[in-house]
């Protein structure tokens, strides 16, 4: 596994783990109410999107093995560049419905050593 590719996958995995830790036992109401939680969640999604963007440039074939990798990058761009339009419900939905799949896919890539 190329070191650069492995680093980006580990960065994604770490951010996913932090997101899981930050949101464990939390509800959407908590997310809406707690500015620090929202900031932390958005920051880790930014890290995931940036690492994914760099992964695409380093090894597009590995990136393509992550479902919705293009949407992950687009989501990061919205968080960074259109921060005034961020929909908290959408962010929370991504935490609840998309994060487990991303964790599984990145973990499998690292376990397989295919990167």
What is the distance between the alpha carbons of residues 80 and 56, in angstroms, rounded to a whole number? Answer: 19
pLDDT at 57: 97
Tokens 């680093």 correspond to 7
Token pair of 42 as six digits: 């958005």
The DSSP code sequence of 52-100 is: HHHHHHH-HHHHTTSTTHHHHHHHHHHHHH-GGG--HHHHHHHHHHTHH
- The arithmetic mean of pLDDT across residues 48-58, rounded, is 98
Full-model pTM: 0.94
**Would the pLDDT of 115 be above 60?**
no
Domain boundaries, the chain: 3-110
pLDDT in tens, 30-51: 999 999 999 999 999 999 999 9
């Amino acid at each position: 596994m190329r070191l650069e590719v492995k680093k980006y996958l580990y960065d994604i995995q770490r951010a996913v783990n932090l997101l899981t830790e930050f949101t464990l036992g939390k509800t959407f109401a908590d997310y809406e109410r707690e500015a620090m939680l929202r900031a932390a969640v958005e920051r880790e999604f930014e890290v995931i999107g940036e690492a994914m963007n760099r992964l695409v440039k380093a090894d597009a074939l590995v990136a393509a093995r992550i479902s919705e990798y293009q949407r992950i990058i687009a989501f990061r761009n919205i968080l960074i560049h259109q921060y005034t339009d961020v929909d908290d419900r959408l962010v929370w939905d991504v935490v609840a419905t998309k994060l487990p799949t991303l964790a599984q896919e990145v973990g499998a890539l690292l376990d397989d050593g295919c990167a």
